[in-house]
Amino acid sequence: MVTFREANQVRISLKIKLSMYAWYSSSTVGSIDDGYSVVIHVSRLDNQIRKIIAPIINGVSVKTELG
């Protein structure tokens, strides 16, 4: 089970890493069945962006959404 604190630490580290990209919009921590996950909002979504953002970081699920 991932705690809010763990998910938020991953969110902050991703925010620092991704803020230099024009397609990055924002990031949030969302509740899921077994804890929390990070949601990354981007202006476009293609394979290049999917390669940059890993689906799991330090045991925390990372989802990428348009918006």
Domain count, the chain: 1
Q: Regarding beta strands 24-32 and 35-42, do their DSSP bridges make them parallel or antiparallel, or are they unpaired?
A: antiparallel
Domain, as residue range, for 49? 4-66
Looking at residue 38, what is its pLDDT?
Answer: 98
CATH number at residue 28: 3.30.300
Quick one: pLDDT at residue 8?
98
Beta bridge partners of 26: 41
Residues in Cβ contact with 46 at an 8 Å cutoff, skipping those fewer than 6 apart: none
Residue 53 to residue 58: CA distance in whole angstroms: 13
Instruction: Reply yes or no on whether the pLDDT at 66 is more than 90.
Output: yes
pLDDT tens digits, one per residue of 8-61:
999 999 999 999 999 999 999 999 998 999 999 999 999 999 999 999 999 999
